[in-house]
Amino acid sequence: MPAPGDLLAGRYRIVAPLGSGGMATVHRARDERLERDVAVKILLPNHAGDPATAARFEREARSLAAASHPSVVAVFDVDAGDHAAGREPFFVMELCPGGSLATRMSGDRKLSPDELVPVLVSIADGLADLHRRGVVHRDVKPQNILFAPDRAKLADFGLALADEHEGLSELTAPGTAVGTLSYLAPEVLAGQRASAAADVYALGVVAFVGLTGELPRPAGSMAELVAASQTPARRASAVAPALGPAFDDVIAAALAPDPADRPDALELATGLTSALGRWSRDGGAERRAAATAATAATAAASLPDTNEADEATTAMALPLGETARIPIEPIHHDPPPPARRPSAGVLLPAASLLAVVLVAALVLPRLGSLVGGGAAPGPSAPPSAGLASAPPSAGPSASASAGPSASPSVAASPSPDPALAALQKVDTAIAAAKGGPNGLKGKEARDLEALAGTVRRALAEGNRRAALDAARKLDKRISDVADKIGRDSAARLRAASSDLLDALGG
């Protein structure tokens, strides 16, 4: 496996590892030909000689390269490797510096609707485009939702299926399902082939978990999950009363046991946007703040007086959060009574003027400040963490719409945080100062990039005080290295750092 400093294909200089999984590792690298930072995903040596794994790896690269949507990570280059020569296959993607949604949801943390809904809308928009192309992702989950500076993106297509490539299904053995157990749709658990509706179900689970901190159908084993899969999911407001009922109908529709009763990806995006509007009008932010304060006070009052360790949390019988090939036995049920699909009044068609206004007013202005990430992404599993960012987009792309099911897309541009804009100038100045006899050396550049990443992560978490502290450290480090580099580069770095401090009120 490559180490920092190694050069792949005479072009990609490995900088540092970003994450690893059972099939591959992901590294931050520098494209020395185009002078930009990228992510390189490399198949593990013990898998390079396995035809099925190699085919899955190749399929992921091909699916990503064909997607070409701003809400899907983009592929720049693919190298088939040479197993006989000990050179593993790899592909190169844009770097997504903000980490994964799983990191933001760690510790069963509940996200505010105005933080989560723009993320879900972006991913739904990308899914809609994939579904129109006949591609089913099959592993939508928080670990595979990554953050570029401008929006959330869908990553890791190792399990994707394309209708026009039926041969790809041969990589899944008969009598098995692939995916992450707690995000698998009921019909997939019952042995059916995954469809676009299964991706919508998985995104509905992401919405439920993100807003409530719990699974919609909690279970400690696969048998319990399968048994519960044909029953209605819990209402989100029943699990998180402070949330209110605004999101109950749209999430329940996405989690419907019958795939025919679920909205498509664009309808889900529109329904979530409409629900966010109702939540805001109903004083949801104030309810959430009051509930959070009450919870914190209760927790503080109940802290034990001793230093005894807390009891370990109950372990799941199965690793429900891991992607796996899962043995299944087809299950049979009496036909359920006919269920009416949620009316347009519940989900609001995407072409509705109200949906367009709500997207413009509620979702798009938040993408710049809520979706922005840091320069040093945390790993995700599978190892697509920190992968890619497509060119900035004002919001859910209009390319993901066709006919009356138009994407919730408008011409309005998000209002970025001035600190993020200033931080982008710092990133540009650091990149421009690299290389040459009078440029930043490797350690100096990595120090500055790491500090800039700390600023970005603090901004993404809404902690401006921590961002200011990190920006001051960055400014000091710039002063330390300024005398060692060219005058013009030093001037750009100092000016960008000064602008960043001003934007943060420092």
Query: What CATH number does residue 57 fall under?
Result: 3.30.200.20
Q: Are residues 372 and 428 in the same domain?
A: no
Please say if the pLDDT value at position 257 is more than 60: yes
- Kindly report the backbone phi and psi dihedral angles of residue 7, in degrees, each rounded to the nearest multiple of 5, phi listed first: -115, 125
* The last residue of a domain, from among 94, 120, 149: 94
3-state secondary structure of 76: strand
Q: Are residues 272 and 372 in the same domain?
A: yes
Q: Are residues 68 and 156 in the same domain?
A: no
Instruction: Give the pLDDT confidence score for residue 357 in this predicted structure.
Output: 39
Q: Are residues 233 and 292 in the same domain?
A: yes
Q: Are residues 370 and 232 in the same domain?
A: yes
More confident residue, 266 or 386: 266
Q: Are residues 325 and 247 in the same domain?
A: yes
Rounded to whole angstroms, how far apart are CA atoms 370 and 399?
23
Rounded to whole angstroms, how far apart are CA atoms 250 and 225?
22
Summary mean pLDDT of the chain: 74
Domain count within the chain? 3
If you average pLDDT over residues 246-254, what whole number do you get?
A: 97
Please say if the pLDDT value at position 392 is more than 70: no
Range name among 78-92, 304-318, 339-353 with the lowest pLDDT average: 304-318
If you average pLDDT over residues 87-108, what whole number do you get?
A: 87
The residue from 139, 150, 156, 199 that is catalytic is 139
The answer to whether residue 277 sits within a structural domain is yes
Q: Are residues 156 and 48 in the same domain?
A: no
Q: Are residues 65 and 205 in the same domain?
A: no
Instruction: Give the pLDDT confidence score for residue 322 in this predicted structure.
Output: 54
Instruction: Give the pLDDT confidence score for residue 262 in this predicted structure.
Output: 96
The answer to whether residue 405 sits within a structural domain is no
Q: What is the pTM of this model?
A: 0.58
The answer to whether residue 411 sits within a structural domain is no
Domain that holds residue 492: 418-503
Of all residues in the chain, the percent with pLDDT exceeding 90 is 32
If you average pLDDT over residues 435-444, what whole number do you get?
A: 78
Rounded to whole angstroms, how far apart are CA atoms 379 and 38?
15
If you average pLDDT over residues 161-179, what whole number do you get?
A: 45
- Kindly report the backbone phi and psi dihedral angles of residue 76, in degrees, each rounded to the nearest multiple of 5, phi listed first: -100, -40
More confident residue, 21 or 448: 448
Rounded to whole angstroms, how far apart are CA atoms 212 and 235?
10
Q: Are residues 444 and 374 in the same domain?
A: no
* The last residue of a domain, from among 400, 428, 446: 400
Q: Are residues 393 and 426 in the same domain?
A: no
Confidence of residue 291 (pLDDT cuts 50, 70, 90): low
Instruction: Give the pLDDT confidence score for residue 375 in this predicted structure.
Output: 36
Q: Are residues 390 and 422 in the same domain?
A: no
Per the listing, tokens 């399902």 go with 177
Q: Are residues 152 and 110 in the same domain?
A: yes
Rounded to whole angstroms, how far apart are CA atoms 441 and 101?
33
Would residue 139 show up in a list of annotated catalytic residues for this protein? yes
Instruction: Give the pLDDT confidence score for residue 158 in this predicted structure.
Output: 62
